[in-house]
Amino acid sequence: MNEVNAKSRPVAGGHHGLLRKVHRSDYETVNENGIPILFATAGEAELAAWHALRAHLQSQIVGSGDKASAALSQAEEKFGKLLRGGGKTVQVERR
């Protein structure tokens, strides 16, 4: 289902913050440099998970286009111009 959620999980020595993104079915830990952060209380862990989830949901959507343009170039080598404005122009008439 398309749900987001955040929670804490007790571990040895403290708590981990867990967040669930819309496009994932499992929870991820709140990490710093790829290492799960250990929080002293469950409340701190859950709060950090909610903050991380909000940062993820409100982040800028960017893309380099490298993979798409490379694949498009390979396709154009085989089939000719595909999407870059080449080809025949079609006039559309509205009634």
- Beta bridge partners of residue 5, listed in sequence order: 20
Q: Count of CB atoms within 10 A of residue 51's CB?
A: 14
Domain boundaries, the chain: 1-77
What pLDDT shows up at residue 28? Answer: 94
pTM of this prediction?
0.61
**Contact, 20 vs 4, CB < 8 A?**
yes
Task: Give me 69's structure tokens.
Answer: 């343009």
Residues in the chain: 95
Q: Is the pLDDT of residue 84 over 90?
A: no
Tens-place pLDDT, residues 7-58: 999 999 999 999 999 888 899 999 999 999 999 999 999 999 999 999 888 8
